[in-house]
Amino acid sequence: MTDQGKDSFVIVISSDEMGQGSHELGKILMKSFIGALTEHERRPDYILFVNAGVRLTTEGSNALEDLLDLESTGTRLLSCGTCLNYFELGQPLAGEISNMASILAVMAGAEKLINI
């Protein structure tokens, strides 16, 4: 199901915004966070997108370029299929569609997990 090593680094993103308060600022902060990941010395092994986080992987996302950069260097991007269907977003443009069993397996096997 997963090919994680014992030192896997996983990020779970459950919104297309970071923090609470201003929605506009939240979107700017999330874009900045994902951009910072492309420059970080330790890129995540996986980024899991659930709930409104799946919007980041689909058409119209301001983070697509950075996500594609992360994907091209080995980060696996998994979007919740139920979430994509719920928001009627279609196929992700970055990463792949996954299910909750696979998402759980990645989370359970993570040595380091950041939940945003």
Cβ count within 10 A of residue 3: 8
pLDDT of residue 3: 57
CATH of domain 9-115: 3.40.1260.10
C-alpha span between 8 and 107 (Å, rounded): 10
pLDDT of residue 71: 98
Return the amino acid letter for 49: F
pLDDT of residue 1: 47
Alpha helices in 40-80 (DSSP H): 64-72
Q: What averages of pLDDT result for each successive group of 10 residues across the chain (116 residues)?
A: 70 97 97 98 97 98 98 98 98 98 97 96
**pTM value?**
0.94
* Extended beta strands in 1-64, E state: 9-13, 46-49
* Extended beta strands in 1-116, E state: 9-13, 46-49, 76-80, 96-98, 112-115
